[in-house]
């Protein structure tokens, strides 16, 4: 809907939905971090703790940051297109890099341990999700 000034009108409930989405996202990141820190010994790039980099990076990258990248155009609907595009792009770049680190961590961990790769439904769905995400950025 357009207002008289030509700017997109902001739905009244939007700020509440956005705040709620951020709360859920931050809770997902915080609970994952707490689970890994308190119950699984933390994260590191060496030894068994290397696996723990995977869930944390996937949740931060592909769930929280990617979700926020998608929301940018709705949340900052009255900013210039250039500004929102830059923010949108930056969030996607961070999401991509962090998710890539998470994937490298789990593949590298499997390699060091001598475990097979891609043996579960999770791993195939995950690799498909990541490839489709990457492809979206190319078209
Ligand atoms: C968008 C999020 C995620 C994606 C795209 C993803 C993707 C993947 C991929 C591609 C593998 C295969 C690695 C290999 O074969 O060497 C894998 C393995 C694994 N991931 Fe994830 N993952 C995600 C989130 C998570 C989360 C949040 C957890 C835990 C809470 C998790 C737990 C595991 C486990 C236990 C494995 C090893 C067993 C297996 O290959 O299924 N992942 N993941």
Measured from the Cβ of residue 70, the count of other Cβ atoms closer than 10 Å reads 13
Measured from the CA of 32, which atom of ligand 1 is nearest? 30
State the pLDDT confidence band at 138, using cuts at 50, 70 and 90: confident
Rounded distance between C-alpha atoms, residue 117 and residue 37, angstroms: 25
Per-residue pLDDT at 57 exceeds 90: yes
Per-residue pLDDT at 67 exceeds 50: yes
Q: Residue 39 to residues 34, 54, 57, 131: CA-CA distances in angstroms?
A: 8, 15, 17, 31
Structural domain spans, the chain:
14-138
Nearby residues of 3 by Cβ (< 8 Å), 6 or more positions away: 9
Task: Report how far Cα 16 is from the mean position of its chain's Cα atoms.
Answer: 21
Nearest-CA residue for ligand 1 atom 32 is 55
Measured from the CA of 61, which atom of ligand 1 is nearest? 1
pLDDT tens digits along 76-112: 999 999 999 999 999 999 999 999 999 999 999 999 9
Which pair of tokens denotes residue 1?
Answer: 């809907």
Per-residue pLDDT at 53 exceeds 90: yes
Model pTM score: 0.91
> What is the pLDDT at residue 7?
60
* Percent of the chain's residues with pLDDT above 90: 87
14-138 domain in CATH 1.20.120.1770? yes
State the pLDDT confidence band at 3, using cuts at 50, 70 and 90: very low
Q: 126: CA distance to ligand 1 center in Å? A: 6
């Amino acid at each position: 809907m357009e207002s008289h000034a030509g700017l997109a009108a902001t739905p009244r409930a939007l700020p509440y939905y956005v705040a709620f989405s951020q709360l859920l996202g931050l809770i997902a990141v915080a609970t994952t971090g707490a689970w890994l820190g308190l119950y699984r010994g933390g994260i590191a790039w060496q030894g068994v703790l290397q696996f723990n980099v995977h869930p944390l990076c996937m949740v931060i990258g592909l769930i929280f940051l990617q979700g926020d990248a998608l929301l940018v155009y709705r949340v900052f609907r009255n900013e210039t297109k250039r500004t929102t595009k830059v923010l949108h792009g930056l969030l996607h770049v961070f999401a991509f890099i962090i998710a890539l680190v998470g994937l490298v961590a789990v593949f590298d961990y499997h390699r060091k341990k001598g475990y097979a790769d891609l043996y579960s439904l999770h791993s195939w769905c995950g690799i498909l999700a990541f490839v489709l995400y990457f492809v979206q950025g190319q078209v």
